[in-house]
Amino acid sequence: MTPRSRKATLLKWLPSHWLITRVEEAGDTVYLTFDDGPDPAWTPTLLDLLRTHDAKATFFLVGKLAEASPALVQRIVDEGHRLGNHSWHHRQFHLRSIQEQLDEIERTDQLLQQFDGKIRHDFRPPRGLLGWQMLTALVRKRTRVAYWSYDSLDHRDEDASAIINFFKQHPLPSGDI
């Protein structure tokens, strides 16, 4: 297993105003992102941990989950983190029509705007699945796609020690997302 997906390696050649996969001039910094929330069971603990280490992150939120936990979304913003768009439903997003996908992104952006005042948010496609038609539609709407350059593979069903060992074997270079 490698923390670098082939897709992220190829997509890094697109201009960063359309798609971001890493931050080139980041100094000595990595960018933390979290997907699929907010989750009332896990997000508060994660926010506490980030606060303890004076770290900031971007949370790519699922619209329907954000709508169900507005206080948690507000806490994310109040503590200085950024919001990102991860669709409205998430489930089988890539199987929907382009228009349905765009509608989900718009609906989520409208909800997130109530918390941070931003009209558009970087979009991370669920499961990283994004076809060229959808990418083209997002470019037309001036919505930047935010991928990742490093995948911790934490979505696998492994304990914390396995994830920590993975990071030790594959250290994060500066600028990675």
d(C-alpha 51, C-alpha 172), whole Å: 21
DSSP string, 1-63: --S--HHHHHHTTS-TTTEESB-TT-SS---EEEEEE--TTTHHHHHHHHHHTT--EEEEE-H
Q: Tell me which DSSP letter residue 95 carries.
A: G
What is the chain's length?
177
Residue 91 exposure: Cα atoms within 13 Å on the Cβ side: 3
Q: If we measure between CA atoms, which residue out of 70, 72, 146 comes closest to residue 105? A: 146
- Residues designated catalytic: 35, 170
d(C-alpha 16, C-alpha 18), whole Å: 5
CA geometry: angle at 52 spanning 35 and 20, to 5°?
A: 35
